[in-house]
A and B are shown apart, each in its own frame.
Chain A
Amino acid sequence: MTHIVTEHPYFGIFVLFVLTFVAFSATLNLQRFISRKLARLDTEKLKMSIYECGPEVTKQPNTISVQFYLIALLFILFDVEIIFMFPWAVDFKALGWFGLVEMILFILLLAIGFLYAWKKGALEWHSIK
């Protein structure tokens, strides 16, 4: 139930990191080797082409709606807020009323920005009408 203090607490993570990448890559390479031994290795044009690419294999452009980028921008705003709030929450009882009032002021400032984004329609999806 208690913490076991070690010199290098991140050692287990390092081992898991190395082992997962090595094991999964090795498994995939083994699978590729086995399946290509069993398969008919013809490089027919339609087999190697991507799904629903049309009669001629074309490289389809990586373009997506601007709405996705707006949401990603909003995420940066709020994720920085959360990263700022994590240390505050850990020391919440030590900081007392001062910390709480400061954090409420910070949240209010952020809420103004959030309401601006809301009113500007950053959270609305494109109308299909």
Chain B
Amino acid sequence: MDALVIGTIIKVVLVLLVVSALAGFGTYIERKVLAFMQRRLGPAHVGPFGLLQIAADGIKLFTKEDIIPQNANKFIFSLAPVITAATAFIALSAVPLFPTFIIPESLPLIGGAIVPSVIADVNIGILFVLGMMAAGLYGPLLAGMAQANKWGILGSARTAIQFLSYEVVTGLSVLAPIMLVGSLSLIDFNNAQIGGVGSWIIWQQPIAFVLFLIAGFAETNRTPFDLLEHEAEIISGYVTEYSGLRWGMFFIGEYSNMFTISILAAVIFCGGYGDIGFIPGWLALLLKVVFFFFLMLWVRASWPHIRPDQLMWLCWKVLMPLAVINIVITGIVVMI
């Protein structure tokens, strides 16, 4: 066992714990921000500022009876939430979370060790993250198919076409930045934008940025694309029959996907963890991620959601041709 193996395992456990806690904290922030935008108080009674609401929700989810309905395929029914949560976390393994730093020499045992910014420094970073988020589709799909319920099957069919369609837009929108940088590794993306705010890719690729953000909203099931759990049409979609922590697993997966999309938008388009003036890199990345997370909540408070046919219309007839034209124009401009 060398230092790299132990370091990787420690980092994986830390990321698992921190992101799980952040997913819980994300639900609290979402409720609080939405409440303030609608001139309500939000969770306010459990603990200071309602902060212990997260713990209360956790206890509630943990002690609710776990019902597997009749007729459901029991193995796939219990596997589906694990797939959703696990793929959302595995996608984080190729995303840089902080600048590379060296532990001070004064600390015993681990002093002087270099901590890399990613868990696994693979050279196909973006492809891996997008592929893993696409593999997360198997969670909702299997959940809907296994429960033998008409709302579940409709919800999973909607999930499938929404994720698949917007997967095309995500892939096409990141192609133009890849052409500029010439690498798939997210660390190379960060290094290409090291020269301050002026060198951010967002100024060269504004269309790609907007397309990526829209597709990211659709892939994480945020308003205005939250058609998968639409009470008036399909009850709860693919989570209709789930209860207790199995239901909570889908939410942990969804919120950690929101964090992944926020970090990706920050790293690919907005300079990653490069320093901005006096702000150190890790704080800059944190601020950008918090901003994109807040943007998702802001949009939820401001927009009604759209119809499924409008969703498909927007993806295939507007965003997809726009992304292809953006790639062709980028290619010609770079060549000239």
Contacts and interface: CB of A to CB of B under 8 A. Distances in A.
Nearest to B127: A86
Given A20-B90, A24-B82, A72-B160, A50 B335 contact: no
Contact of A118 (B317, B331, B335): B317
Interface string B165-183: 1011001100110110011
Interface in B74-122: 78, 81-82, 85-86, 89-90, 92-94, 99-100, 114, 116, 118-122
A4 B328 contact: no
A96 B335 contact: yes
Contacts of A68: 157, 160-161
Contacts of B15: 16
Contacts of A34: 62-63
A63 B4 CA distance: 50
A78 interface: yes
A96 to B, nearest CB: 7
Interface residues of B, number: 92
B13 A19 contact: yes
Give the interface size class of chain A.
Answer: 35 or more
Contacts of B128: 13
Given A13-B119, A72-B160, 13 more contacts: A1-B194, A3-B187, A12-B119, A16-B93, A16-B119, A24-B81, A35-B63, A36-B66, A49-B70, A75-B161, A86-B127, A92-B178, A92-B334
Interface of B: 4-5, 8-9, 11-13, 15-16, 61-67, 69-72, 78, 81-82, 85-86, 89-90, 92-94, 99-100, 114, 116, 118-123, 127-128, 145, 147-151, 153-154, 157, 160-161, 164-165, 167-168, 171-172, 175-176, 178-179, 182-185, 187, 190-191, 194, 235, 240-241, 244-246, 249, 308-309, 312-313, 316-317, 320, 324, 327-328, 331-332, 334-335
23 contacts: A3-B121, A11-B8, A12-B12, A12-B93, A12-B118, A13-B128, A15-B8, A15-B119, A16-B16, A19-B16, A20-B86, A28-B81, A31-B245, A34-B62, A34-B63, A39-B65, A50-B71, A60-B149, A60-B150, A75-B164, A79-B164, A90-B184, A100-B335
